[in-house]
Amino acid sequence: MDSALSDPHNGSAEAGGPANGTTRPPSTPEGIALAYGSLLLMALLPIFFGALRSVRCARGKNSSDMPETITSRDAARFPIIASCTLLGLYLFFKIFSQEYINLLLSMYFFVLGILALSHTISPFMNKFFPASFPNRQYQLLFTQGSGENKEEIINYEFDTKDLVCLGLSSIVGVWYLLRKHWIANNLFGLAFSLNGVELLHLNNVSTGCILLGGLFIYDVFWVFGTNVMVTVAKSFEAPIKLVFPQDLLEKGLEADNFAMLGLGDIVIPGIFIALLLRFDISLKKDTHTYFYTSFAAYIFGLGLTIFIMHVFKHAQPALLYLVPACVGFPVLVALAKGEVTEMFSYESSAEILPHTPRLTHFPTVSGSPASLADSMQQKLAGPRRRRPQNPSAM
């Protein structure tokens, strides 16, 4: 997952600039400020709303869209897996034609983006459907084997409202596939980020520290130690980053001088911030001190990243600034309040997520929504299922 914050130098041909070596006109101070401010705002939205939705997702005992719990073992392995993936992509771009690789990636993210965007807008869209809307239930079921050996591969339930959301998301998908427009890219990127914060749950603060600490080293090494991450970020034509043009005021929607922010810089701190929100709720004090502290720390860390990047005119590993801020500020507050022990002994999976499976283990649920609660008490097995049929609005 890309996690570099990049800024095309004024007058350079980087990040979507001319490939023939010609220089572009310098971006205006207003355009630069607009681009940075927009990236900051777009980063905050999925973290804030994704954290709120993570609480509802965790508490939804009848939810077939179970969150994935990240354990300390998962967290320790993640930087190694991410490094291998990043290096593999870099070598692919060096060996094979970038055009064909991006064509395959575009098709993959076209499908993935439509599903993510549909899941994101579904709670909002449900408010606009009238009570008389003819909502029919459907089920997509694939199995292998027969008799006692029959095993479910896909068991996906959906309704007419889901199909409407899927149709609207498909319009954005076609727009992205045909034009690769930066707005379509950002809509998919925001959907991926929000889904990540909502559905990826750290089981405790120690796991979060392991994950963020490992990715802190990962980010610094691959940005400062090599040109791998920046090269992949600029070659990878997929919605794995948020972009905003610095020449929007001059060229309008056809602007092409982009600053970019990797989705890793949103999702990784975001799932830690969401964990602290659930910790706040477990304290039953009607305050969200740690959530707001970490949220403010994220704003400070990303703002500092943007400032340093602008001063030194070089891509920055945003986690270099975000990890100390997002971990350090809440720990200092816990020290001041004498709640360090409570913070590090809090178990998200035991406190709010009693039925949450570990990563790669998902419940098999069949039948009507009324049967979900009983089914989830049984042995957790089988493929992952869809979200609740009537998700609540945020």
Listed in order, strand segments (DSSP E) in 278-332 are 316-317
**Per annotation, catalytic residue among 265, 280, 286, 374:** 265
Q: Judge residue 260's burial from the number of C-beta atoms within 10 Å of its C-beta, 0-12 exposed, 13-18 middle, 19 or more buried.
A: buried
In 10 A of CB 89, how many CB atoms? 20
Cα dihedral 78, 215, 317, 177, rounded to 10, equals 20
Annotation says 162 is catalytic: no
Terminal CA-CA length for the chain: 27
Active site residue 2: no
Residue with tokens 């008799």: 147
The active-site residue, picked from 219, 247, 256, 280, is 219
8 neighbors 222 (Cβ within 8 angstroms): no
Per-residue buried b or exposed e for 335-368, using 16+ beta carbons within 10 Å of the residue's own CB: eeeebeeebeebebbeebbeebbeeeebbbbeee
Which segments of 338-389 does DSSP mark as H helices, in order? Answer: 340-345, 348-351, 372-376
- Counting DSSP H helices and E strands in the chain, the numbers are 14, 8
* Catalytically annotated residues: 219, 265
